[in-house]
Amino acid sequence: MDLVVEGRAWYKGKLQHVCIGIENGRIARVKKVLKGERQLDFNDRIILPGAIDVHTHMREPGMTRKEDFSTGSVAAAFGGVTCFFDMPNTKPQSIHRDDVMEKKELASKKSWVDFGLFGGVSDASNPQRIADQVVGFKIFMSSTTGSVLLSEDKDIRRAMDLIKPTKKVVSVHAEDEHLLIKREEASIRDHAEARPRRAEASAIERLAQFSQQNKVNICHVTSLEGLEALSKGAFTSEATPHHMLLDIASCGRKGFCKVNPPLRPKSDKEALLAAFASGKISLLASDHAPHTVEEKEQEFDSAPSGVPGVETSFPLMMALARKERIGLGVLIKAACETPAQLFGLNKGAIEEGKDADLMVLDPRIVTSIVPRNLHSKCGWTPFEGQEAIFPQAVFLRGQLLVEEGGLVGERNGRDVVAKRRVAA
Ligand code: NCD
Ligand code: ZN
């Protein structure tokens, strides 16, 4: 055994004191007692599978003033995220094969944690040409930061039919473009009115017809209407920490909390957190969408939509788990197990044969979020002052990557989908 990591691990659905034996980057044995060449004893601290964030915007290529694969993946690592999926709304968009391959090259060189790339879809592209290189496809039903729109049913149908034989997940930004109100906005409240809850519910209802033939995943659900609409189809769904912890009243500073879909009133926030706590939401996803302070400080109407969150996502939810607002099992399911199962990764659980992606936390150490302690290039967070439990150690495939607030390992992030091949 190369390495044995010992502590109170999430194993077979509960916390138990075990030894995790690691060989060649994988979990080889889990037993009460194990001896390895190296032994790390975390005593009564808890060991969880690394989180998988299925929705991030790492901004490379084309917008590296906001973030890049290096800074974004370091932020991920410090937040216990050992694998992230990157969205296609970069410059260029990840729609055509050459552009996907180029992004993959960049991420492979720069990422500190494992990653998957989402492919974009336009009304004229053929998603089958990139299916072997992407972890899933992303469809934007409404206009948002840098998106390629598929707002009409006929275009969505064309895309879904082409994607069907690839069996890939289709993650959809579900807001109905036809129900958005285009007018000047001066506040978070205006933004929420311009992108109403009805638009979310309507988009989800329109997607129900595809949910039998495709694996349709509804991104960032925000509202009670949206939650109700989910029952109309066979969907998986995501919730973000910002929609579960922030609302239109909690965020005054200019356009900093402007995000799509928007923050909602307190009642929706509470309904969403309750739905998450009851296990009705499949996935915890940050929708990490960093923009610079300068961009966010513009007049509200001109400020871009999106908030950072890859580093704070799991730690914020872990603090809620400590207070028993959500169950630890529900959190691990949504952040680790279900993402791995849905996207077919050999990760997401402490089990023999899985990648040894682990985080170690001390639930007694609750900190308050401070922007300067975070690692995203954007340098700010909408969660300043909120309670969080950050991991003290993070392992990627058995290699220690984060230890006591510092980066200690080597840059070794890998694509979870396919080995790089010569472009067809
Ligand atoms: C995202 C971004 O900035 O890339 N913005 C956002 O408000 N969530 C785009 C998106 O997913 O809508
Ligand atoms: Zn997004």
Name the fold adopted by 3-48+350-407.
Urease, subunit C; domain 1 (2.30.40)
Mean pLDDT rounded to a whole number for the chain: 96
Q: pLDDT band at residue 424, thresholds of 50, 70 and 90?
A: very low
According to the model, what pLDDT value does residue 147 have? 78
- Per-residue pLDDT, 145: 81
% of residues, the chain, pLDDT over 70: 98
Query: Could you tell me if 383 and 316 are in contact, meaning their C-beta atoms sit under 8 angstroms apart?
Result: yes
Query: What pLDDT is recorded for position 251?
Result: 75
Name the residue of 56, 59, 145, 147 whose CB sits within 8 Å of the most ligand 1 atoms, as the mutation to test its pocket: 145
CB of 258 sitting under 6 A from ligand 1:
no
Q: Is 247 a catalytic residue?
A: no
93 lines ligand 1 (CB under 6 A): no
Q: How far apart are CA 93 and CA 88, in angstroms?
A: 5
Q: Is 89 in the pocket of ligand 1 (CB under 6 A)?
A: yes
Summarize pLDDT for 165-201 with one digit per residue, the tens.
999 999 999 999 999 999 999 999 999 999 999 999 9
321-331 CB burial, b ≥16 within 10 A, e <16: bbeeebebebb
Q: Please check the confidence at residue 420 and state whether its pLDDT lies above 60.
A: no
Q: How confident is the model at residue 254 (pLDDT cuts 50, 70, 90)?
A: confident
pLDDT at 306 over 90: yes
The model's pTM: 0.97
Q: Where are the domains of the chain?
A: 3-48+350-407, 50-343
What integer pLDDT is reported at residue 373 of this predicted model?
A: 97
CA of 211 to the centre of ligand 2 (A): 20
CA of 204 to the centre of ligand 2 (A): 16
Q: Name residue, tokens 């970069």.
A: 90
Distance CA 218, CA 231 (A): 12
| Mean of pLDDT values over 375-398 | 98
Would you identify the CATH topology of the domain 50-343?
A: TIM Barrel (3.20.20)
Q: What is the pLDDT of residues 113-165, one digit of tens each?
A: 999 999 999 999 999 999 999 999 999 999 888 778 999 999 999 999 999 99
Q: What's the rounded Cα separation, in Å, for the pair 128 and 165?
A: 8
The catalytic residue among 53, 68, 176, 287 is 287
pLDDT of 421 reads 47
